[in-house]
Amino acid sequence: MAAALTLQSLPLFPLGTVLFPGGVMPLRIFEVRYLDMIGKCHKAGAPFGVVSLTQGHEVRQPGATEAFSRVGTIATITHLETPQPGLMLIRAVGADRFRITSSEQLKHGLWIADVERMSADMDVVVPDDLKPTADALGRLIESLQQRAAAGEAVPQVLEPLRLDDCGWVANRWCEFLPIPVALKQRLMELDNPLVRLELVSDVLARSGITH
């Protein structure tokens, strides 16, 4: 059983954002270390890990130090295209969260890590006092779907929609809200999906999105 819960030498993609379980992340890839990594992952049907940067930049800079959060999200590639040599456009979907137990930077700059999968959120029904938060998300998604149908490029939300589930609603709001990456990271790491949704609801209330 333990073997199924750990991954060794998982390639990492440190980014200036947070990938949530169930989230969709489009990525434009042009750095050699990631072109090679993504190409191999796609060919093997293997995942990679997304971690949020705490120091450094997404594009490697000479002499710069990269540091990243120790909790990330496993990503699977659902779409890949190469519009020109040296450029990949991919769509990745967030799966389980993981905790890094050890990491190493290889010679050409790619990070790999041994990780332990974290438990998925428990299914917790959205309580009555938080239903306005779920209803507001439903309206936002409906608006995005209408804009997508009209040909606009908008963020994607995977179906089925789970507007009655605390973790799912909280995660989607975290993706949409313009809050600091460090706060998104803390919310993503929370084990209790109800607490995560309560905190997100507070942010929405303060911003006037819900009452």
- Both tokens of residue 37? 């990594």
Q: What are the backbone angles phi and psi of residue 70, rounded to the nearest 5°?
A: -90, -5
Segment-wise mean pLDDT, segments of 10 residues, the chain, 211 residues: 68 97 96 94 96 87 86 98 96 98 93 96 97 97 96 94 98 96 97 98 85 56
Q: State the pLDDT at residue 210.
A: 65
- The full set of domains in the chain, from first to last, is 2-117 (2.30.130.40), 128-206 (1.10.4060.10)
Q: Which residue has the tokens 């779907």?
A: 145
| CA dist., res. 193 & res. 200, Å (int) | 10
What's the whole-model pTM score? Answer: 0.93
Which amino acid, residue 139?
A: R
Q: State the pLDDT at residue 7.
A: 87
Q: State the pLDDT at residue 211.
A: 56
